[in-house]
A = this chain, B = another copy of it.
Amino acid sequence: MIDRVVRVLDTFSDTRTVQSASDIGRRAGLPSATAHRLVDDLVAAGLLERDDEHHIRLGMRLWELALRGSRALRLRQAALPHMEAVQARIREHTQLAVLENDEALFLERLSHPDAGANITRVAGRLALHASSSGLVLLAHAPDEVRERVLGNPLPAVSPETVTDAGALRTLLAEVRTRGFVVAPGSVETVSTGVAVPVRDRGEVVAALSVILPRHAPAESAVAILRAAARAIETDLARDGHERWTGGKLPSH
């Protein structure tokens, strides 16, 4: 049943925000009567919304329930002021991503009006081995995740994506040693991704990145990103401390 709910929600995307119940059923692989009944139940609960013309959208109530107590919101709220500071200096796309089911999931993207090409979207995904954010997340992922990803096919996202597991293994070790990655052309030929890790209580929980024009120098971007990552880490630690001391200890 929960699997069916996920299949229904999964039919919506950034380019498909409005659908009929019949289309949802077809795309979710559900029998029509089942789909209509499930959509009715989800509308009644506010997780979906139906307009006067029977178009179905994701519900604001779903958005609220998914965000209110989420790690995604906490990370993003700690990161946003520092991402704005990065963007004010670098004036390109500034992004925050987390590891989710062997891919990089983007929690936030700030886009300067003058910024260049960028295929990422908020709540969109990219392959770990191709994007600069993904490389940072993969470098610091649990061993079993890294081995699984490197053991599976590594498709080229652009002609320059590193797709050789051995070369990637060397690159990931460098990322861990240096504390950043510069990935020219690995997602789009015209761009260079630059990413650094963000830690919470010692563990890498996110990657902070900027997308530069292909041949822009990366040194100052690395320094700006590292300073911003430290600032985010300070705010995450303070936030954690406030939760700990503010009588809001998780009960278990």
A227 interface residue per 8 A CB criterion: no
Copies of this protein in the assembly total 2
**Interface residue ranges, A against B (CB under 8 Å):** 1-3, 5-6, 9-10, 12-20, 23, 41-42, 44-47, 53-55, 57-58, 60-74, 77, 80-81, 84, 98, 100-101, 105, 107, 110-111, 113, 121-125, 243, 248, 250-252
Secondary structure of the A contact surface, majority rule: mixed
Once A13-B68, A63-B72, A248-B16 are accepted as A-B contacts, the answer to whether A47 and B100 lie under 8 Å apart by CB is no
Determine whether the beta carbon of A100 is less than 8 Å from that of B64. Answer: yes
In the complex the two chains form, what is the Cα distance from A63 to B63 in whole Å?
A: 8
Determine whether the beta carbon of B72 is less than 8 Å from that of A60. Answer: yes
Determine whether the beta carbon of B19 is less than 8 Å from that of A61. Answer: no
Q: Which residues of B contact A77 (CB under 8 A)?
A: 122
Determine whether the beta carbon of A252 is less than 8 Å from that of B67. Answer: no
Determine whether the beta carbon of A12 is less than 8 Å from that of B69. Answer: yes
Task: Give me 9 A-to-B residue pairs in the complex whose CB atoms sit less than 8 angstroms apart, sorted by A's number.
Answer: A2-B45, A3-B45, A17-B250, A19-B251, A57-B71, A58-B72, A60-B71, A64-B125, A73-B123
Which residue from chain B places its CB closest to the CB of A68 in the assembled complex?
B123
Q: Which residues of B contact A98 (CB under 8 A)?
A: 60
Q: Which residues of B contact A15 (CB under 8 A)?
A: 243, 248
In the complex the two chains form, what is the Cα distance from A41 to B5 in whole Å?
A: 12
Determine whether the beta carbon of A17 is less than 8 Å from that of B110. Answer: no
Least Cβ–Cβ distance between A252 and chain B, in angstroms: 4
Q: A61 is contacted by which of B42, B44, B61, B101 (Cβ under 8 Å)? A: B101
Determine whether the beta carbon of A14 is less than 8 Å from that of B69. Answer: yes
Q: A5 is contacted by which of B5, B57, B64, B68 (Cβ under 8 Å)? A: B5
A58-B69, A77-B122 known, 14 other contacts, Cβ within 8 Å: A9-B66, A14-B73, A16-B248, A18-B252, A19-B252, A23-B251, A55-B252, A57-B69, A57-B70, A66-B66, A66-B67, A67-B122, A80-B110, A81-B111
